[in-house]
Structure formats: C-alpha cells, structure tokens
Structure 1
Amino acid sequence: MSKFAGREHRKEGEPMATGGFLEKQTVEKLAELLRLEDFSEVYAEADRVRRENVGDRVQIRAILEFSNHCRRQCRYCGLNRNNTGLERYRIQPAQMVETARQAWEAGYRTIVLQSGEDGYYTAQMLGEVVKEIKKTGMAVTLSCGELPVEDYAYLRACGADRYLLKHETADTQLYSSLHPCGTLENRVSCLREIKRLGYETGSGFMIGLPGQTEETIARDLLLLQELNCDMAGIGPFVPHPDTPLRDHPHGSTELTKRAVALARLLLPKANLPATTSLGVLDQGEKNDIFSCGANVIMRKVTPSSYKKLYEIYPAALGETDICSERKELEAQIRALGKIPY
C-alpha cells in the first residue's frame, strides 16, 4: 500500500492522487514519509508534479550580496555580529545597479539583492536601487531580513517583486535557542505581512539543525503550505568555524532532497531552488535535485572583492565572471535535459 493518501486504488502506471495527499497531510504522516527506506516513488511523483505545474524550465537567478554587516546573533551564521574576525563590507547603490545591469546583459531576468540585517541601508536607499534596476526589465527579489511593515510596503511600491525571508525552523524552542535576537512569532508575522502586501513570498529552512527531527521538518513543510509560499529554499546546514555550531555535523543531503520533494507536493506551483549549500556539500546532489522537484538555481554575481566575505558558511568560490558563468550554467542545465531560463 502506498504512503500517499488516495493512492490505494490507483492502477499500475496511473499518476498518484496528489490532490488527496495535499489535503490530508499531518505532521505524523509527513514524518513517516521522510523516514521511508525507499523514497523513489515520492521522488517520481514530485518530478511529475514539477513538470506538470512549472515545466522543464530551470529559472536562473542572479544573486548580489551587497552587505555582510548584520545586527543579529544567529548561532549558525558566519555573518552574525559576534564574529569579530570577519572583514565587513558594504556595496554602494551605484555599484549595485551597475552589477544588476551587467547581469541583465548576461541574460539574467531576476536579481536577488541579499544582505545581513544592516541598518545602514534605509528603505529609501534600497527603494532607489530597486527603481533603477526595474528600468532594465529585471524582476527584483529582496532578502534583507526583518524590517518594519512600512519599509516592506515602501519597497513594494518601488517595484520590488519578491521577498525572501527564511523562517529557518518552525520549532519555537529550537528557533529561540538559535536566535537569541528574535522570535519565531515575529518572523512569521513578517512573512504574513509580506504576503499581504502582494510580494511573491519566499521562506525556507535548514536540514540538520541540532535537535531537529523528522517531525520538526514536517512542521516546517506545513508552515510553508500554511503561508502559501511562492518560493521555498530548503538546504542542508553547513557549519561555520567561527560560530557556536562549528562542531555540529552538516545536514543530510538525502533528507534535504526528500524535504524538497515533499515541498513540491504541498506547493505544486512554487519556485523551489537548488540551494547553494547543497552544492557546497555535493555538486552532484545539487544537480540531481532537479529530478526531485526543484526548478530554480541562483548564481552569485557579487563582485570578486566582496564575494568571499559573504560567508554564511564556508564555500570554495572563484572569481566572478558574470557572462561566462551564466553560459556555463546554461550548458549544465541543458546537459540535465532541462531548459535554462
């Protein structure tokens, strides 16, 4: 008997009753799926749902990390304000706009502007950057942390299309232990406001946090569904040597792929990226995830002089060459039988 609701009377070769799956999942049922010895049937269904809802195109998005200053103390993040060994930087608005224009010329149609929570950049400053970038025709995603509601509203009015704010974990106690500078309640409240303002709303979480269980991950997935997220980034935890979690093992790539597959079933039309952290642990796993429900990949366009300083977790990064890296990524996507976009 299949683990999917409504699947019991399915004929051989007939698609699973995914609609029943979407309607009836609980923490217990999702945790049971995550523990399956053989997950191949779920992967196949996630791939079918992905193809049916978003097609075979892999969306390629540029990501510009414009500041590594952060007011927060997140215990897993190399950018946290307690990391005094990190050289800090800020990219000025004119260079942000110029980098975005270079990305547009290279073929990118979406840029993600990401930073730590850095009060140096006012909503007015970021709003002007958004307005200038929008003149190219690019979609703009912002990922700048928790902001006042009026700032979210102002940036939306300036033309920002999407906002990414990962909730990281839906377990209140675990969230508090990892974030001495915030609460899960406030994070979710921000996400609800972002959605209300008309942004395409993105959240997400990590696999492999201390104390995390399959039930924890199930709650993460159900929160994504409850928020009706348009995007969801799910990646493995990668320890940073200058954080309190330096000795904690990295998250499972297999469990990450399983969570992405289930996210596809819960949110059939959502954009699900192959996260950079997955590629850090195993490039093959990152490629394989496009057969598990993912349909987006991001490539850093951060100037070389800054890129290695935006170190949430350690990664081997080369020099930035926006045009050639875009072409290389397109070739890799075609080799997987997908269509770069």
Structure 2
Amino acid sequence: MFTHSIRRYSLTVNKVYSLSEIKEMLLLEEEEAFALYEEANSLTEKLFGKSIFVRGIIEFSNVCAKNCLYCGIRRGNKNVKRYHIGKEDLKKIIMDAHNDNFKTIVLQSGEVDVYDNDITEVIEYVKSKCDIAITLSMGEKSREQYIEWKNAGADRYLLRIETTNRKLFENLHPDDDFDNRLKSLMTLKELGYEVGTGVMIGLPKQTEEDLASDILFFKENDFDMLGVGPFIPHNETPLRNIKSVNMSMVLNFLSAMRLVTYDTNIPATTSMATLDKEGREKALNAGANVIMPNYTPQKYRESYKLYDNKICTKEDAEHTMEFTKKTVERAGKVLVLERGDRRR
C-alpha cells in the first residue's frame, strides 16, 4: 500500500519527491488519506512539538485596483463598502495586538500604491515601540518599495502565486503577469525577507498535476511560509457559480506539502474553517503549525470578504486570542506566544 511509502518518506529529511509521488498523495482517499494526515502530523510534532504559532491579521484596507476573477474585493465589485484604516488608527490597533500578546502581526490589504508611504511610517513607529514581527501582504510592489519597507523594519512578506500554471494564473488575474509575480517573489527573498506564498485549491480547470507542480515549486524555492486556500465562491465575482472544493483535497494537499517541504511554516486558515466548521482543527492535525486569527476591528470585517460566508466577522478583536487558544486546544495542541520565525 502507498501508506507504507508515506511512512518511509516522512522519516527522510529533505527527501526529493517526484511529481507522480506527490500526485498520488493528492488522490488518496479514506484510510490511506488519514494515514497521510497522521504522518504529516507526526513530522510536524517531530519538528515543532505540539506548539502552534499565532499571527494576528489586520485587514487595514479593502481598496483594490486589481480585478482578479475569484476575489470579493476586486475592482469590479461595486457593491462592497470600501474602507481604509488611517495610519494613526492602524498604529493603535497594532499596539493593542501587542498588548494582547501577539508577537507577529500581518498587515493585509487590497493592491493600491497610494498608502505605501503611510505603511512605512507605521512600521517605523511600531518597531520603535515594541518587538513584534511585522508581515506585509499588500501585493506586487516595486523593488524600491520592498527595500523601503525592509529598511523600516518589516520582517516578512506574503505574496501568493495562487497557481504555478501560467495560463491559469493569467486567466484568473487579468491585470497581472506571471513572470512579474515570480520576479517579485525572488526579489523579496534576495532582500532578506522571510517570504510566504501559497495557492488556491479548486480553481476551474485546475488539475491534480497542477497542484503537484505547485508543491514542487514550493520545495525548489524553499519558501518560509506556505498557505493553502480552498476556493470558495463570492457572489459578486465571475466565478460565482463554481462549486467549492471539498475539505479532503485541501487536507491531502496540506499534508503532502508538509512532507515535501519539511520544515516550512504552514497555517491553518480562516477559509478552511469557512469550508468546514472543524477545518482549522483538522488542518492542525494534518501538518499545519500556525494559526492566523483575524484582529481587524469588528466594524470593518463584513467589508473584507474575499469569499462568501467568511467566519469570524462578528467577533471583537479583544477576544481574538481567547477564541484562538480554544481552537488550538480542541486540536490537542498548545498555542505559543512567540514570533515563530522559520526554523532552519
């Protein structure tokens, strides 16, 4: 059975996997799929113990110049209420997160350039006040902008590739160029950021071979954090009628990604819990070692919906850590209040 191969692979540091081996893992079902999750979890606990790192996400703006076909805050959605949190309010929110024991925050927004200088000021201010890791997730920028933010004190950058299938990427992102996305990721690595990327699972015309190629791409480029998001449709996008992917494929991908990339940081995401009410707990037992709760002020959360039925839009930020701790404990893990830098 393939299960025996999984067990053998998980004990091998930096084993080189073939495309066919990864594809086979993605197609596992029932008992063999559960064996895959168990081996990925065993490897994760070998590397990190039962520790789960936490990053607080602050969605500070839903203003976006891009028109990606799957995204609820795309430029073409005229029914979303646009907002932007000003720099002084953003400074306060980050300091509140620090006071609530977050050691890492993620500043996430739509893609526009008009607020870039404000973010430089915010980074410099926060770094002068406390030791908190700052991750940016603001899309493609110029090399000069990446340098400015790095010099200001930014530690990490998340830039999802969404798919390594060039044609599929360009069909989904009418304003983007695949080669430029690759160039941006390589520039971020060169500049010394911890770099995160990731893909969406369940996109129309996406194949298991595409997904296996995504995982090989992650391994070859040794990214520091890898996210996997299930496709969930938004009713104000061109993909509104496409069905969501099933959770088993998400878990298969996550576990395969853990076994192949070995020691990278992998989050259990909000979208997983939207797809399956126990999605984050399942992910934390299938290879994930990070959880990323929403620390955005409650009044803005309804307006930052990349997909329909997003959970946690009614919670207050002040209770975020408490809710997160309970989620992690339900998974039999331990929330640790550390920066959670990549362990090499």
| TM-score interval, smaller chain | over 0.9
Q: Deviations over 1:181-227 (max 9, x none)?
A: 11221111111111111111100001100001110100111111122
Q: In the alignment, does 2:152 pair up with 1:130? A: no
1:323 to 314, 318, 326: 318
1:25 aligned onto 2:20: no
The SS at the match of 1:39 is: helix
1:4 and 1:143 mapped to 2: Cα distance? Answer: 39
Distance 1:52 1:73 in 2: 42
Counterpart contact for 2:135–2:156, Cα < 8 Å: yes
Matched residue pairs, number? 332
Spell out the pairing of 1:166-177 with structure 2 (5 A cutoff): 166-177=160-171
Distance in 2, Cα, partners of 1:107 & 1:20: 36
Q: Give CA deviations for 1:230-259 in whole Å, capped at 9, x if unaligned.
A: 101102100000000000001121111111
What letter is aligned with 2:228? I
Structure 2: gaps spanning 5 or more residues: 337-344
1:148 aligned residue: 142
2:50 to 56, 68, 92: 56
Q: Which piece of structure 1 moves more, 189-198 or 15-24?
A: 15-24
Partner of residue 173 from structure 2, selected from 176, 179, 185: 179
Q: Give the one of 211, 220, 230 matched to 1:236.
A: 230
2:100 corresponding residue in structure 1 = 106
Higher relative CO (Cα under 8 Å, sequence separation at least 6) belongs to 2
Distance in 2 of aligned mates of 1:227 and 1:17: 20
Q: CA RMSD in A?
A: 1.7
Deviation by residue 1:122-161 (Cα, 9 ceiling, x = unmatched)? 2x32111112222221110000000001111111111111
Q: Distance in 2 between matches of 1:218 and 1:269?
A: 18
- Secondary structure of the 1:104 match is helix
**TM-score scaled by structure 1?**
0.93
Q: Is the 8 A contact 2:16 2:260 kept in 1?
A: no
Q: Output the CA distance in 2 between the equivalents of 1:101 and 1:16.
A: 46
* Pair 1:109–1:39, CA change in 2 (3 A): same
Distance in 2, Cα, partners of 1:4 & 1:185: 39
The answer for unaligned runs of 5 or more in structure 1 is 8-14
With 263-272 and 319-328 compared, the bigger mean Cα shift is at 319-328
What is the rounded CA distance, in whole Å, between the counterparts of 2:320 and 2:238 in structure 1?
Answer: 34
Deviation at 1:47, TM superposition (A): 0.9
Find the aligned partners of 2:313 and 2:48 in 1 and give their Cα distance. 31
Q: Quick one: percent identity of the two aligned structures?
A: 36
Distance in 1 (alpha carbons) for counterparts of 2:327 and 2:36: 25
